[in-house]
Structure 1
């Protein structure tokens, strides 16, 4: 953000945002541009993080929202929320790499928690994080998320989720009561 005192504007994404959302997510997680920030997965995965089809499906999901944070019309960050019975799933969390570490991610997470709790009436936010991302898991733990010990295998062989650089990847479910 050009002015750190100014808070971003949050809004639901539209289909017109899909190309910019794909570029944002890719820049935050894959390739050399992702190394500018601290959320990179470039040492764990090559290939894509998402694509226009998946993002368009998320934007059009009647039981979800892709929340964008922007300032002066510029897309800075996003996340996806999916409404389920009693909880919401949080994913596709991305902050422009050069803006990571400045509080924008905390603002996006807080807005997602507010929306899920106040507007959807859910009491738990759930997410899946690659177990090997200890720094990211620690960041979520500092914000009240807890590790559940529930693991999901990485979808090896499905390049829509990236090309693994190692054979021991798996996701751990984290939860927070909101």
Structure 2
């Protein structure tokens, strides 16, 4: 992996970015291409991770944005950041598989936390992670997130969230004070 460039720029997605976001998220989580990185869900789920319609819906919600990290015209990472009750919500986090491990993800997470804290005045950030993804949960724990023990069912039967390859998937809520 190469060092993270100093010229990483953050901005918010627009409708013109939808196709690139779908491609990035799919490449980070599904299929053989995702296996280049460590965030793949290819052994857990087939099918799609996100579609254009879901992204377009998030772009129109107030106090919701899809954060993009770019170097020049190159999209390196994205994340969905939103207000969820009294906390921020962090999701749809994707870093290009060939760029994982170079620090881009840490910077995107920090920027999302900054937005929740400084722009929206929130005191905490929440996310849900498939609970069998121990390596990913450990990544978040190293950044101050804690496992809450609150679990939510995986939406089996709803292909918008992928096609499960196993029957023991569920989400766990992680939380961090900002």
- When normalised by structure 1's length, the TM-score is 0.97
Q: Structure 2 stretches of 5 or more lacking a match?
A: none
Aligned pair count? 178
Q: Structure 1 stretches of 5 or more lacking a match?
A: none
Q: 1:5 to 1:20 in 2, by over 3 A?
A: closer
Q: Say whether 1:169 aligns with 2:169.
A: yes
Aligned equivalents of 1:85 and 1:41: distance in 2?
Answer: 28
Aligned equivalents of 2:59 and 2:24: distance in 1?
Answer: 15
Task: Measure how far apart 1:2 and its partner are.
Answer: 7.3
Q: Give a deviation string over 1:95-124, Cα, whole Å, max 9, x none.
A: 000000110000000000011101100001
Q: 1:148 to 1:7 in 2, by over 3 A?
A: farther
Return 121-130 or 53-62, whichever deviates more.
53-62
What residue number does 1:13 align with? 13
Task: Measure how far apart 1:167 and its partner are.
Answer: 0.4
Q: Give a deviation string over 1:55-79, Cα, whole Å, max 9, x none.
A: 1111222120000000112111000
- When normalised by structure 2's length, the TM-score is 0.97
Q: Give a deviation string over 1:12-31, Cα, whole Å, max 9, x none.
A: 10000000000000000000
What residue number does 1:83 align with? 83
Aligned equivalents of 1:112 and 1:61: distance in 2?
Answer: 17
| Contact 2:2 2:102 survives alignment (8 Å) | no
What residue number does 2:22 align with? 22
